[in-house]
Homo-oligomer: A and B are copies of this chain.
């Protein structure tokens, strides 16, 4: 077995070099690859299968709360991008420009959408007339382009896949409600489906989206103690509506501006899945997400009845996503490979098991082995997948909680920032200057003002003036 194991190339240990470990996992688990287009990636079948499952589950949750899908153009005329001042300032420096169509130069440049607020606004301005047309709760699944200088697979690339929801409402209250509702859809999805615990909160003004009145976020903590913003939801108030002239005639016959929101979750979340759950053997997939939940590895598969039994077992387990690995590799190689790919449960079955009417189950997350009678295996797998989900969530939460620290003054914060990777909870006076100083002097940014506030101290961790909010600070991807 030792010899077999060596055949599967080892990956860098995560404690030795976390960044290299990440790159190794992405490559060896065959999730994605670089392309000839600088900064753009090829998502390979095993990586795309994750995105398909994410899409499928999230889309189901969207439809439960009244979201309808549409498709908008990928191009934005320059004049359209410029209509909302803060928005264009935020995005214009990082967009790709189309200047020629066919053999001719365009009269007006088009940018490839970095996000589609302007396109939805332009559409809504034509499509919304009366209060009867509201609310509009639309979403699209697409890719967007931002001309990043440095890129990393899933975490930051020039083109990435995402969904972007864009809504229009009659009142400010309804828009705020929708903004929070969608943030909660993301948070529940991360926790219930991906086994990733998240902190729900609001971004500070400095960190909010270009053009938004308020931005809400879910923040997850990676294994190395760095944070990853995993989904955001923005309330635009009537700012875009005024810039684009999106008005409706209300029941009282008055023309009123709509109130808008947008919200997005991207393939970045795959980076979070890798960095929250992965270990030194590779990927560890949460069972509800895993494209293959159970791999059956026949031991001595040439021996009489072994492969037949493996296939029989595959049929017995057809309520799960199950696969028999009948390739001509050795069992040891198959073990390592299924571990690298993060398959939640492995079943080993050989001649001795056949005789005893049993099989060996191995958990990917804990490597725990158990022998189970074949007659009980279906029920056992069902239980086990639920247990694994539960344990993965609890482990990630325990890790996060163990790496969440309180700082009562700047010295404490600086000490934590320098030596204890994780979230730092500290009070803040609300002024942008302190936020900038904390970044400059301690290298941390505000991740969010959590909905669940706690009063750690009375004064701002930096300036000592009266505090208004408890903030999660940290280093982030």
Contact = CB atoms under 8 A, between A and B. Distances in A.
A102 B93 contact: yes
A45 B68 contact: yes
Nearest to A140: B48
A86 interface: no
Given A35-B123, A45-B69, A49-B68, 19 more contacts: A33-B123, A35-B72, A37-B73, A42-B123, A43-B71, A45-B68, A45-B138, A52-B69, A71-B161, A73-B159, A74-B74, A74-B112, A74-B145, A75-B96, A75-B159, A96-B98, A96-B102, A99-B99, A101-B147
A44 interface: yes
A102 to B, nearest CB: 4
A70 B52 CA distance: 10
A326 interface: no
Contact of A74 (B43, B100, B119, B159): B159
Contacts of A112: 74, 98, 112
Interface in A29-52: 33, 35-37, 40-45, 48-49, 51-52
A8 interface: no
A97 B98 contact: yes
Contact of A102 (B41, B95, B143): B95
A100 B99 contact: yes
A102 B110 contact: no
Interface residues of A, number: 51
Given A52-B69, A112-B98, A36 B122 contact: yes
21 contacts: A33-B123, A33-B127, A35-B72, A35-B122, A36-B122, A37-B75, A37-B76, A41-B73, A42-B71, A44-B70, A45-B69, A71-B143, A74-B112, A95-B102, A96-B100, A98-B98, A99-B99, A99-B100, A101-B147, A101-B158, A102-B147
Interface of A: 33, 35-37, 40-45, 48-49, 51-52, 68-77, 80, 93-103, 110, 112, 119, 122-123, 126-127, 138, 142-143, 145, 147, 158-159, 161
Contacts of A36: 77, 80, 119, 122
A100 B45 CA distance: 31
Contacts of A33: 123, 126-127
Q: Which residue, A41, A73, A127, A161, has most C-beta atoms of chain B within 10 A? A: A73
Nearest to A40: B73
A139 to B, nearest CB: 10
Contacts of A93: 102-103
A70 B267 CA distance: 13
